[in-house]
Amino acid sequence: EPEVTQTPSHQVTQMGQEVILRCVPISNHLYFYWYRQILGQKVEFLVSFYNNEISEKSEIFDDQFSVERPDGSNFTLKIRSTKLEDSAMYFCASSQDTPPREQYFGPGTRLTVT
């Protein structure tokens, strides 16, 4: 069964450093998303991406964040200058069509900022 994959599973970085989180969405999906979940809190939407551009972003997704589809399979989230409060699980998701079509989530990358 096709699934979303994410690397790395755990990333530790120092405050102020840049990190890139990587995702391979399901191959025939066209819509891509990033969500995050701070420990003990709910899953929060960050950004959606379609046809090589951002289709929607939340207030959380400020100028320190960027997304890119550098090739036909990968989808990345870059955090330019990490802060302690960026520590969270970051989930990539993909869907075949726009919501309310279901979104399929990857296993997540645990980002720890020290």
Partner 1 sequence: EDQVTQSPEALRLQEGESSSLNCSYTVSGLRGLFWYRQDPGKGPEFLFTLYSAGEEKEKERLKATLTKKESFLHITAPKPEDSATYLCAVHNSGYALNFGKGTSLLVTP
Binding residues for partner 1, rule: CB under 8 A, are 4, 31, 33, 35, 41-45, 48, 50, 55-56, 58, 89, 91, 98-108, 110
Instruction: Evaluate whether 7 touches 73 at the Cβ level (below 8 Å).
Output: no
Between 55 and 64, name the residue whose CB sits nearer to partner 1: 55
Between 19 and 92, name the residue whose CB sits nearer to partner 1: 92
Three-class DSSP category at 75: strand
CB of 11 to partner 1, least distance (A): 14
Between 14 and 42, name the residue whose CB sits nearer to partner 1: 42
Measured CA to CA, the distance from residue 60 to residue 45 in angstroms comes to 8
Nearest to 104 by CA among 41, 11, 24: 24
CB of 53 to partner 1, least distance (A): 12
CB of 43 to partner 1, least distance (A): 4
Residue 89 CB neighbour total at 10 angstroms:
17
Between 35 and 86, name the residue whose CB sits nearer to partner 1: 35
Residues in the chain: 114
- Find tokens 């036909």 and name the residue: 72
CB of 104 to partner 1, least distance (A): 6
